[in-house]
Amino acid sequence: MTRCEFFTADERITGFSVSGHSGYAEAGKDIVCAAVSAVVTMAEATINDVCGAKAKVRVKDEQARITLTLPTSCDEEETVQAVLAGMMVTLLSLQEDYPDFIEVLEV
């Protein structure tokens, strides 16, 4: 199962961690993993490359985990929060469609 955790403080999303393989299908044919990967990649690229937020990103291949942590503040805060909220809504929609393969939590 893929686990998606969103970290919050004072109604601000401060980052996320996505880990695990969904197990929906074999590697290379898993549409749930592909969808999650696309959403995570788009969010990270928009936050860092488009908005210039300089979020810290850690990837642990052996654990199939990516973690993104925002700085305390960033110039494009409203846009960054919108991207993270959109990411969460998209992953929650995937969870509704594939509840046995993806879990989304706000921690």
59-95 pLDDT, tens digit each: 999 889 999 999 999 999 999 999 999 999 999 999 9
Give how many domains the chain has, as a whole number. 1
Boundaries of domain holding 55: 2-106
Domain with 44 in it: what CATH number? 3.30.70.1490
CA atoms within 13 A on the CB side of 86: 14
With bands split at pLDDT 50, 70 and 90, how would you rate the model's confidence at 27? Answer: confident
The string over 56-73, giving b where at least 16 C-beta atoms fall within 10 Å of a residue's C-beta and e elsewhere, is: eeeeeeeeeebbbebeee
The helix (run of H) or strand (run of E) holding residue 98 is none
